A and B are shown apart, each in its own frame.
Chain A
Amino acid sequence: MNRQTEGKNTRQSVEAAGRRSVIEVDKLAVALPQGGDRELAVSGVSFRIAERETLCLVGESGSGKTVVANAVMGMLPRKLPVKSGEVLLEGRPLPPQRAVEFNAIRGRRLAMIFQDAAASLDPVQRVGRQLEEILAVHEVPRPEWRGRVLKMLEAVRLPGPMEMFDAYPHQLSGGQAQRIAIAGALLLDPALLIADEPTTALDVTTQAEILRLIATLQQERGTSVLFITHDFGVVFQIAHSICVMKDGMIVESGTARQVLRSPEHAYTQRLLAAARNARNRRPVRRSEKVLSVENLRLSYRTGTFLNRKLKPAVRDVSLELEAGKTLAVVGESGSGKSSIARCLLHLENFNGGTIRFHGEDVTKLRGRSLQNLRSKIQIVLQDPYSALNPRQTIRAAIVEGPLIHGVNRAEARSRAERLLDLTGLTAQAADRYPHEFSGGQRQRICIARALAVEPEILIADEAVSSLDVSLQAQILDLFQELQRKLGFALLFITHDLRIAAAISNQILVIKDGEAVEAGPSREVFKNPKSEYTRQLLAAVPGVSGDGWLPT
C-alpha cells in the first residue's frame, strides 16, 4: 500500500525516538450515560504510538480501555459519545469528516482483533470468502483476491492455507480462529492494529504462540499495535510502552522497562504485585486423606447411532485430596480436567476406577447415599454470571442447599449470613439479586453457596479464569483464607500455571486425559519431569523475563 500520509499536510509529529507517530490520541474524553458509576467513561486520555511500536493499555475491566479502542475505531455505542479530544491517525483526524469515509479507513489503515476470535467470524460463511470480502469492500481488483488471501494465511503460519480457505469458523480451534482474525486484520497492511484482549480466551501455549505471531508480523510489516489487556504477564512479553488505566484515566505511562521495573503509581504496584503473587504459598502440614481416586477412566460416546465411537476423555487418572490442602489440576482446554471434576461429583457415568471417600468406596453410590455424598463435595464454576439463578435472591441461593440436605431454616439463614460475611460481602447482599453484583462479587456468592452445605471437598473449576488479575488475586486469597478457617480440601482446576503455583500444595498435570506429571508444586515447578510440563512452563507469559514464577 502506498502511504499517502507522507504528503504536505502531515503533521510533523516526531517521537523522542525519532520515529513518526502513527497514532496520536490527545485528551480524549468519552461520556457515560447518566446514572453510571462516573461521569466520563474515559477522560484526559493521551498517548501516541510510533511505527513498529506496541503500546499496552493495561487495566482491570471497567477501567475504560476498550472504550478507548472503540473511540479510535469510531465504533462507540450511541450512548457513549466522544465529548472532547483529538485522535490523529497518520496525521489525519479521526473520525473523518464524512462518516462513510470511515469504512474506507477501517480494515485498510486501522484494524482490530477481538477477544473471542471464533465469534468474530460469520458462522455461515467460509473463512476464505470472509477474508476476500475485506479486499472486495476496499476495492482490490478481483483477480488478486484469492492469491492475496492464501498468502496471508501462510503469513499467519496456518498449516494448509488451502484447507483453511474453505473451512467454516466452527471447524477452527480458538488459536486458529485468532490467526484467521489476524490475517484479516493485516491483509491490507494497516498502520495500526488494535488488539483487544486477543489472547485472554486462549490456553497458555496458544497464547504464547499468538503473542509471538503478533510481534513477528508487526516487525515484518511495520505495523503499530495498540494492545489491550488486563494481564501483566502478557504485557511483559509484548509491550514496548505501557499505559495503565484506572477509572477512565491513565494513571501511569512510560516505556515497558520503566513501568515494569519501577512502577510509580500505587495502583500499578498493586497490579504488578497481584501478578507476582505467584510466590506466596503456605507451609505444608501433615493431614488427613479425604478423597482418593484410582485409575479413573471416562469415555464419551460420539458419532451417530449407526457408527458409534468411544472418545476417551480421562485415562487412568489417580489423585488424592487431603483436608486443608490444595491440589491443582492443570491442563489445556480439552485435556479432560473438568471431566475429572464431573466424575468426582458423580455427574458422569465413568467407565472405570475407584473413588474412596474417607477410605470408603463410593464409586457406585446411588440415591440417598449419593445425595449425602454430594453435600460433602461442592463445586464453584468458571462463569459466575450463568452460575446464579437471576430470579433468586442471594439468600435464597445460599440457603437452598442446606435446606435440601435437612438443615432447618433458621440455621440455614444464619449460615448464609456468616458465609456472606466470611466471603467479604455484607449481610445486606442477601436480599439482592445476582445482576446487582459484579463478576468478582458473584464469584464470592458462588463460593458462599458452595460452602453453605459444609463440604469437606471444594472443587474450583477455572473459578478465577474469567476474572481480571487483581480480582483473581483477591479470590485466590479468599479460597486460601476460607480453607484455613474451614479446613476443606481444595481441588483447583486451572489452565493457568501461575495460578496453580499460587494456590496449590500438590499439582497434577493433565494432557489428553492422562496424568503426565504429579507431585508437590514446588518440585514440579523446580524440576519438571515431563517434556509437556516444561513446555507449559516455558509458555507462561513473563516467565522468561524477570523470573516471576517460583523457580
Chain B
Amino acid sequence: MTSYIFLKFLRAIATLVVTVSLVFVFIRFSGDPAAALAPPDAPQEVIDQYAKAMGLDKPLWQQYAGYIGGILKGNFGYSIHTGKPALTLFAERLPATLLLGGTALLIALLAGIPLGAVAALNRRSMLDQVVMAFSVFAFAMPNFLFGLILILTGALVFNVYLGGSSDAGNWAAVLPPAITLGLAAMGSFARFTRSSLLETINQPFMRAAEARGVPFRHRLLRHAAPNAAIPLVTLVGLSLGSLIAGSVVTEQVFAWPGVGQLLVRSVATRDIATVQFIVLAVAFTMVLANFTVDMLYLVMDPRIRAK
C-alpha cells in the first residue's frame, strides 16, 4: 500500500514536471516573446532590450532554470496588459469559474447518476431507451449550440435575457451556463453509471446476497452501489479536473467572467504569462484530481490496498 501511494505520488510529480517543461518549450516555439511584448511597430533595438530585460538572451538552460526557480518561488510572471501578476488575474477569476463548474458538476451528478441507475434497473425497457437516447443527445450536442438555444428561448419565449450574467454574485445567473455545461457531463455520467451498475448487479455476489435473503434495496445500496461506484469515481475525478478549464466555450457564450474567458482574452492578446499560468493551473488541477482519485481507490477497493 505504501508503495502504491509512493508510485502514484511519483507519477503525479513526474506529470507536473513534464507539463511545466512542455509549457516552457511551446511558449518558446510559438514566437519570440519579446517581439510579442514590445509594441507592434517597435524597432529591433527595443525588442532586443525587452529580450535582455526578460533574460531571453541567456542560454536556454539558464532560462529554463530561471523559469523553474520562478515557479517554485511562486513567481509566475506579470500580465503585459494590466501589469498585475498572472496569479492575481487568475485568482480574481477563479471563484466565478468554481461556482459555475461546481454547480454544473452538481447538476450532472444529481441528474446523471439516478438516471443511469434507473436505466440499469429497467434494462431494455422503454424507460431505459428514452434515458439513454437523451444521454447521447446531451453529450453529443455542442455546448455553444445548447447555450445559444437556451438564450434564444429565454429571450423569445420567456422574455428574460440569460446571456449577459456578468454578475457572478447572482445565484440565479449561474443556472443557464451551469445547465449547459452540466448537461453534457450528465450524459456521460448516466451512461457510465448504467453500464457500471449493470455489470455489478450481474455479478455472482449479487445473486448470492439474494440467496441469503438480503432484500433488494439493501442489496442495491450496500453491495451494488459501492462496487459500481469504483469506476465512476474515475470519471467524476476527470470531470473535476476540467472544471477549471472546461468552460471556455460556455463562459464565452454566456459572458461569464471566469477563467475560460480570461484564457480566451489572454490568447487573443498574446498575454503569455497569463496563458502560461492558466495552462499550469489546469495541469495542476488535473494531476491533483487524478491523485485524489487514486487515493480514493485505496479507500473504496480493498484489492488495491493489498497491492
Contacts and interface: CB of A to CB of B under 8 A. Distances in A.
Given A108-B213, A124-B302, A170-B306, A114 B226 contact: no
Contact of A114 (B6, B207, B218, B222): B207
B306 A119 contact: no
Interface stretch (A98-106, A252-260, A283-291): A98-106
Contacts of B130: none
B134 interface: no
Nearest to A303: B3
B221 to A, nearest CB: 12
B235 to A, nearest CB: 18
Contact of B213 (A104, A114, A122, A168): A104
A280 interface: no
B3 A184 contact: no
A111 B303 contact: no
A120 interface: yes
B21 interface: no
A125 B224 CA distance: 11
A119 B203 contact: yes
Query: Which of B208, B210, B211, B302 lies at the interface centre, i.e. has the most chain A CB atoms within 10 A of its CB?
Result: B211
A429 B98 CA distance: 61
Interface in A73-120: 73, 75, 100, 102-108, 111-112, 114, 116, 119-120
Given A116-B204, A119-B203, A124-B227, A170 B302 contact: yes
Nearest to A75: B210
Given A124-B227, A170-B306, A304-B3, A137 B204 contact: no
Contacts of A20: none
B208 A75 contact: no
Interface string B226-252: 110010000000000000000000000
A123 interface: yes
Nearest to B215: A103
A438 interface: no
Contacts, number: 86
Contact of B205 (A122, A185, A307): A122
Interface size class of B (residues with CB under 8 A): 20 to 34
Contact of B214 (A75, A119, A133): A133
A134 B303 contact: no
Interface string A218-248: 0000000000000000000000000000000
Contact of A307 (B3, B208, B301): B3
A107 B205 contact: no
A181 interface: yes
A121 interface: yes
B3 A106 contact: no
B73 interface: no
A171 B306 CA distance: 9
Contacts of B226: 122, 124-125
B212 interface: yes
A306 interface: yes
Given A168-B302, A170-B306, A304-B3, A138 B205 contact: no
A134 B302 contact: no
Interface string A126-163: 10000001100110000000000000000000000000
B91 interface: no
Interface string B172-206: 00000000000000000000000000000001110
B304 to A, nearest CB: 10
B208 A107 contact: no
A124 B204 contact: no
A9 B235 CA distance: 57
Nearest to B301: A124
A125 B223 contact: yes
Nearest to A104: B213
Given A106-B211, A123-B205, A133 B303 contact: no
Nearest to B229: A124
Contact of A106 (B203, B212, B222, B302): B212
B208 A170 contact: no
B129 to A, nearest CB: 18
Given A168-B302, A168-B303, A120 B205 contact: yes
A73 B211 contact: yes
Interface in B260-307: 300-303, 306
Given A111-B212, A307-B3, A122 B223 contact: yes
Interface of A: 73, 75, 100, 102-108, 111-112, 114, 116, 119-126, 133-134, 137-138, 168, 170-171, 181, 184-185, 304, 306-307
6 contacts: A73-B211, A75-B207, A111-B211, A120-B205, A134-B213, A181-B208
The 3 A-B residue pairs with the shortest CB-CB distance, nearest first, are: A107-B213, A120-B208, A304-B3
